[in-house]
Every structure is written in structure tokens, then in C-alpha cells.
Structure 1
Amino acid sequence: MENSGSLEQTLQDGNILRQLNALIVAHLRHNNLSQAAGVVASATMTPLNVEVPPNRLLELVAKGLAAENNGTLRGVSSSVLLPSSYGSITTSRTASIDFSVTHVKGSSKILPKHESKQLSEHKSVVRCARFSSDGMFFATGGADMSIKLFEVPKVKQMLSGDTQSRPLIRSFYDHAEPINDLDFHPRSSILISSAKDKCIKFFDFSKTTAKRAIKVFQDTHNVRSIALHPSGDFLLAGTDHPIPHLYDVNTHQCFLPSNFPDNGVNGAINQVRYSSTGSLYVTASKDGAIRLFDGVSSKCVRSISGAHGKSEVTSVLFTRDQRFVLSSGKDSTVKLWEVASGIIVKEYIGAKRVKLRSQAIFNDTEEFVISIDEANNEVVTWDARTTEKVAKWPSNHNGAPRWIEHSPVEPVFVTCGTDRSVRFWKESV
């Protein structure tokens, strides 16, 4: 007969196992892997409709890995002081919004007034920007072939009147042609860039004197867009070629989707983005299509042709729960699509975009959609659920901004544009 100590341990282990099974089933279900969820639920006698917050399993695994490593980060030199929270999972200010509700009662929310401050200038057009997943850093890339890295806490110090604060902490010069896109490694102090020189480059920003890349992938085409898998082990590249390239970060091996629809498609990829767990990725193409791919098999699982009429699709972005994709096109519309059905569920209109390859983005709580109005040189905001336009502010750029990027964790964003400037936006006090 078991003693009370071993019996208690057995019961505790059983409870943990049941919780783990529930997390696995919910994770598969939330990622639209219904068949796999059903198999696991049946094998483990777990209710298929078990209620678990989206991405809870991913968050717990990330925290466990961080604890196992005593909170340290791979690739970060101990001689360099980086914020201790870099690479951690940050809880959003609100839960994800259920965009499947088509008839929304009540008035639209109002985004608080924001003010902007010019931080820096490139020597030419600023073409892209990206925040790190914890919101501690953002980087900008320019047609001058340079990359600038800013530390957000130092930006705030400067805006609060600290004249000694220097938010621009690194500059990198290692591309031969204009920068197209940027991304941050989810755990290490690595910044990744892509450019017209057909190169993808990895920079270690923990080293204060480093100006050159520590790793280079040479593609066969102009690399227009990049996105790292949430694990940091795989990298997507959208190029002038219509098929996205998938790189193994560790081995440099390149893969192509096995069932890409061969129907005369010849449009370059404007943007490629992973979902929050990496179970899906999406591309926005110059041929006007949005294409969804399985993040494991790289098979194209859905193609939405003519998503923005005859206009090219300039940006795509998953909601946190991976159920919807937000797209922007040169037809001056922003649209929200349901992943499972490929049906449009929301449309945001009233901001002209026909020239620049500009983005439409969510704010950090996904309550608002933000984009650019080229004609009026304004930053425009819609209530994400009601689709009502709720704010428009002068961009303060000399000419419409080319790019807009929001922090994933707090109410701040950056704009950058053809006037070479980088502006930081925050809520007015």
C-alpha cells in the first residue's frame, strides 16, 4: 500500500498531466488543427471544448525555458547591460477581441490623443521599422543602407526632458542596397534585416562596437520581407519570386512550399508574417492575393485572389488568436479576413493609399486599426470592431509616412517616411 506521501505525489502528477492534456487540446483547437485536437482529446479522455486562454501553452513553455536558463538569454554578452526583461512574454493590456461578432452594439471607442517627436534621421527615405516582441527596442531601415536601433526606455527618458538620454544605441552598415524589412529574434539579442542586395543579415546588438553582420543568408532574389518563427529557428523570406522561401536559421537550408498553386502567378511578395504560435503564416502579394500556409508543412492551405480588387496587397497581419488576418491594399481599403473560411468580416475605409507600400496595423490591444492617409498626410484610426473612423492626426512628416509600426505591449508607435525622419508617438498627457 502506498504511503501518504507517494499517494499525494501520484495525485499531483495526475492533476498536472490532465492540465497538460487540456493545454495541448486547446492549443491545437485554437490553431485550427481540429482533427489533431480530436485525436489527442480522444486518446487522453480530455473534453474537446475545454476552455483555456489562447496561446496559454506557448506562454507557459516560454516561461519554463526562461526559468530553466535562470532568466539568462542566449547570445547576450555578460559585459553588456540589456534590459532584464528582453525576450520575455509580456501580457497584453486586454484580452483578444472577438472579431467574429458582426453586429456590434454601442458606440465606438476613442483612441486617446497622441503626440509625436522626431527622434532621428536617415540620409535617405526610411523604408521600414520593427519593434522587438517585448517592446524594449525598435529598429529602422533606410534607403541609405543603414539600420538604426533605438531603446524605448531611453526614448521615454528623452521625451520626459532628460537631455543626457541617447535613445539611438546602435547603427549597422553592412548592406549594399536599401533595407526592405527587419525582425528581432524572440529570445536572443539578434536583429535581422533584408534588403534589395538579395541578402538577409543577422546582427548581434549586445556588442557595442559591432557594425557588421555575424551571419548572412544569400538569396537569389530581392528580399522584400522577412519574419522569424516564434521559436527563432526558422525564417520566412518574401522576395520578388511569388513563392515564399523558408530558411532553417541553424543549418541555412532553404525550403519551398510543396503545393504552391501553379496557375500563372508571377507577383512578388510584399509582406510575409507568422501567426503568434507559428502554426500559420501569410503572404501579401503584388498579384492581389493573400495566401495562407501551414506553418509546419509549408503547404498553401488557402488563397484569396483579388483580395483588394485589382490592386496589390501591401501588408498582412494576424490577430493574436490567429483567427483573423488584417490586410491593406492599394485600393485604399483595409480588410479583416476570417482564416477558417477566407471570408471578409470587416472593412475599414476612408484613407487613401495608392502609391506607397504602407501598412495597416493594430494597436497593442487590438481595439483599433491604424494606417496612413496619403492624400491628407494623416495617421488614421478606426474602431476595430465597429469599423468607424475615430481619429485622424497630422503625421507631422514632410510628405506621407511610408511605414507605421506599433509596439506590441504599450500605446506607442513609430512612423517613418520619405522625408528621412523617424517619429515616435505616445499618448498625450
Structure 2
Amino acid sequence: MRNIAIVPVIVSCWLPGIFFEKAYSQSKLADTILTDNRLDTIQSRALRLLTGFAAGTSYGEVWIRDFNTFIKGSLQVQSKERVREMLLLFFKMQGNTGDIVDGVIDSKKATVGYKYRYAELAPGWAAHKNTVETDQESSLIQAVKKYIDVTGDTSILREKIGDKIVLQRMEDALTYILRERWSARYGLVIGATTIDWGDVQPETGWGVAINDKTKWSVDIYDNAMFVIAINDFLQIKPRNYKATKDWQQVAEGVKKNVRKHLWMTASQKYIPHIYLNGSPFSKTFNERGILYTGGTACAILAGFHTPAEIAAINRQMVLAASKEKHATIGITVYPPYPATEFPNMKPYVYQNAGDWTWFGGRMIQALVLKGFTKEAWNELNPIIDRAIEHKGFYEWYDVQTGEPKGSGDFRGEAGVLFDAITLLRQWAAQNK
């Protein structure tokens, strides 16, 4: 009886202290976020940049995978009509099989070595598709969802493009993936072998297009993006619209098969690739030792992970970043692929362990949304400081020298930082 009586006393004294400490800690963090002027600087710079649609100074095209990540910021400084028309342009360029292009550009400027596509529905425009990717369809559907979230304009779903409304074209895009980019054996989305979310094949040559050297594989990025797109479609689909397929069942199947085939429980990370027609790498190369950060961040956003797994994933990303002097959690992969294995992209260059805020910022968003606000804030700080130091937004950063690389005025970085800061400020306003 004496022991039983003691227990409630201990609990009643101990738990309130924990709750008070947690509430105080949250309040203090909230105040720090709300009073940090650096965030104002980043968001105001981002909005000045997001008056345009092209990916950055090195690109004439509007890329859907980029546009998807800065559309919310665009809607703060551009009319919803202009943003809507840009989204509809991608549906006007949609292929007969339902596929979505990567980029659109003024046809007079279509001078790069892409295989351009033209459409009667979009006079004056040219488009192209990096065929090694399987994220264009998913990116467009996600962008439509974000457009509706910000504007409330659901009429876009009933907009008629040619002989179909947008809702039907969205389903066509999802169906294209099931028909053309699908492994029946694994029940998962496939694509050409690239580095994580990248768009370049290992072998030298024009790496963005499928060719006779292409090695087909399954990876986490394509599958996570597909599930996010399905979930977005289901959330915006009107109740009276009869879908052609049970998309919820498809999404659940992908999630189940991701866990079965790609997720390594013991090491709490993803297998980089499951190969369907042979690996492009040597038999002695241990690809499973490489950490894929971008696709993993998307997997968290897709709802594939428990809080304990998210904590473990985040610790691995932080550890990987600590290995290089100038890295953040935006480091693409770690360690990089050796040049002997990936001759089309040297180590620490571009997608081969370059540092991309474009995906690091998505990990910050994932952490906030999943309740890891303190970690999100701590890991955002070096990213914010870097952007302020370089007085702009860059495509990627060299983790060994800290130098900004690639396209300047990179709207993808501006967009993800704008969104991450918005999420943090919303959390802070609710917890101050």
C-alpha cells in the first residue's frame, strides 16, 4: 500500500515540471523565430525574385519541377491569373500518352540541344522532357494543389484544355506513370538511374535522355513524389468527380512496397536503387553505403515514416553534413559517387554531393510539419546565413570551398526558403 501511494505523488510532481519546461522552451524558440530579422531579409529577397517564372539566370525555361517549389511565393507577388495560365500551359503541352514535359520556353529561344515539342494549344511555345526523370507528372499535380491552397480557385480543375478538363488530364498524368514508368514486379515507380532526385545518367554523353546505355531502376524519390501527387489529387478532387481508378489504393500499395523493397530498417536509410536490367556500376562498388537525402526528405513529406525514423534520418543527414566544412543538410548525397563510377559528374559537383538548398529547404519543411521544430530551426540557420552572405539565391554550393555554383537567382532556393520560413513563423505564432 505504501508503494502504491507514492506513485501518484511522484507523477503529479514530475509531469507538470516537464510540461512547463517544454512549454517554456517552445515559447522561447517561438520568440526567437518571430524576432529574427534575417527571416524578413530572406523572404523579401525571395518575393522580389519570384516575379518571374524561369528557374534562374542560367535557364530560359520554366521547369515544372522548379515551379512546383516556388509557386506559393509567386502567388504573393503575381496575379493568380498569370500563375494559373503558366500551370495550364503545361497541360496544353501534355503528350498523347499523358506525360508532362519538363520545361516550356518561348519557341524563338528554343535553341538548346533538346528534342522540342510543339502543340497547337500553345502557339509560340516550345517544350522538352528530360526522359530520365519520372517526376514531371507528380510535380505538376503538386503545383496545382498548392495553387488551390493559396487562391481557393478550384475552377482550374474544370478548365477545358482541348477535349479534356484539367481533372482528367491530371488523372492521365498519373496513369502515364502506372503504364509507362512502372515495375509490376515491385509494384513501384521506375526511372532511369540518376543520383537521387537528379536528371543525369552516369555514362558520359547527353545524360538527360534515355538511350541504349540507360539502366532502369526503382528509387525513393520518384515513388515519394508520386504518392504526394496522388494524395494532393485526392484532396482537391471534387466529391462528384468519378475517378478512373482507386488512387488511394494505389498510394497505399506504393507506400507498402517502398517499405518492403527500398527501406533498410537496420540502417534506417534507403537503398539508392533497385536495378531492373543491370547496374551501371562495378560489382565491387558499395552503392548502399551512400545516403540519399533529397528523396528521403520527400519520403517524409509523403508520410512514409514514424517520428522515431524521422529522428534517425535527420541525425544521419546532420552527420553527413558535418563531414564537409561547408555542407548543410542540403548536401545531395554522401559520400559522393567516385568519378570512376559516375564519369558524367565528378565528386562534389552538381548533384554528386553538391549542396542544394532546393532540397535542404524541403527537409526543413518536413521537420516542421512532423513536429521537429527545434531541429528545423537549428538546421535552417546555416542555410539562412549562407544565403545572406552571398546576397542572393544560387542553384548549389560547393561543400569543400563554400562557393556558390550553377545558376544565380535560382528561384527553387528562394521558393523553398520562403515556404520553410512561413511554416516556422506559423508555428511560432501558435506557440509564443
TMscore range, shorter length? under 0.3
- TM-score (normalizing by structure 2): 0.26
User: Scaled by the length of structure 1, what TM-score is found?
Assistant: 0.27
Q: Which has the higher helix share?
A: 2
Q: Which has the higher contact order (CA 8 A, sep 6+)?
A: 2
